[in-house]
Structure 1
Amino acid sequence: MARQTKLILCPINLRHAQVEHHAYMEAVEMARRRQAKLIVATIAPEIERNLNIYNSDTYWGQQLRKFVNDNPASGVPEIEMVVRKGAVHRQIVKLADERKVDLIVMEAANPKVKDYLLGTTASHVVTHAECSVYVVRS
């Protein structure tokens, strides 16, 4: 018997979201078909390189809201947006564990890095996540 998917996590790298967001579209479709809740998360750096960003939680929260508004998830029963700080690979796994996520849907690699078979972030998440991970190749 197939497991029921009730909670899907889709981490978004907002620095590359304007270029690629295939994983988000896949996550939305999966959440719609399964009538699952979707958590869309972004991981902010602990120390901002851009000195114009005074409050990174607020800044990245606004950017995430804008991304979700620009890419509507119609038919998905519930969407939650989460901003975390820290190492991307660790924060994705930590969030998935804390929230008891059933499935993580994420991009394979930085869209500018075509040399890797699987990106280091995706590799870490696949190796360390307790739940299933669906990796979308761009």
Structure 2
Amino acid sequence: MTRETKLILCPINLRHAEYDYGEYEEAVAMAQRRNAKLILMTVAPEFERNLNIQDTEGYWRDVLQKFLKSHPAGDIDLEVLVRKGSTHREIVKVAKERKVDVIVIGSANPRVKDYLLGTTASHVASYSPCSVYVVRN
């Protein structure tokens, strides 16, 4: 029996603007096909390196909104979420809190090309309470 997908979580790392966002595109397409809600999430660092940023969560919420303007999601039910803390822990925490059906996450870190998965995707796949769809960028 196929499980029904009602809620999809797609975390994206906006600090790497030059990278491909295949996970976002796949999550949008999956939400359209399954008539599911999509939570687009980014995680602000616990300690911002840029000292000019006073409101870390507000800053990254604005960056996420700009991302959505340049990458429209169409007519799907979309929620934007910014969390602050450790990326892999916050993704798993949101998945548990919101009872997410599937996480669509990218695995692209240029420093770990020789590994199967990046550290964040690996942690999420290991500790997530739901299915994880890893998009290799």
Q: What range is the shorter-chain TM-score in?
A: over 0.9
CA distance in 2, matches of 1:14, 1:51: 18
Aligned counterpart, 1:36: 36
TM-score by length of 2: 0.96
- Residue 112 (structure 1) shift: 4.8
CA distance in 2, matches of 1:106, 1:36: 16
Percent identity, aligned pairs only, is 62
Could you tell me which amino acid in structure 2 is paired with residue 114 of structure 1?
K
Aligned counterpart, 2:25: 25
Instruction: State the secondary structure of the residue aligned to 2:112.
Output: coil
Higher alpha-carbon deviation: 101-110 or 25-34: 101-110
- Residue 2 (structure 1) shift: 0.6
- Residue 84 (structure 1) shift: 0.4
- Residue 75 (structure 1) shift: 3.2
Runs of 4+ in 1 over 6 A off after TM superposition: none
What does 1:57-136 correspond to in 2, within 5 Å? 57-76=57-76, 78-136=77-135
- Residue 111 (structure 1) shift: 4.2
- Residue 91 (structure 1) shift: 0.3
- Residues 8 and 111 of structure 1: is their aligned pair in 2 closer, same or farther, counting only changes over 3 Å? farther
Note the alpha carbon deviations across 1:41-64, whole angstroms, 9 max, x for none. Answer: 000101100011110111000001
CA distance in 2, matches of 1:133, 1:79: 19
Unaligned runs of 5+ in 2: none
- Residue 20 (structure 1) shift: 1.4
TM-score by length of 1: 0.95
Unaligned runs of 5+ in 1: none
Q: Aligned-residue CA RMSD in angstroms? A: 1.1
Note the alpha carbon deviations across 1:68-113, whole angstroms, 9 max, x for none. Answer: 121111131x100000011101000000000000000000132453
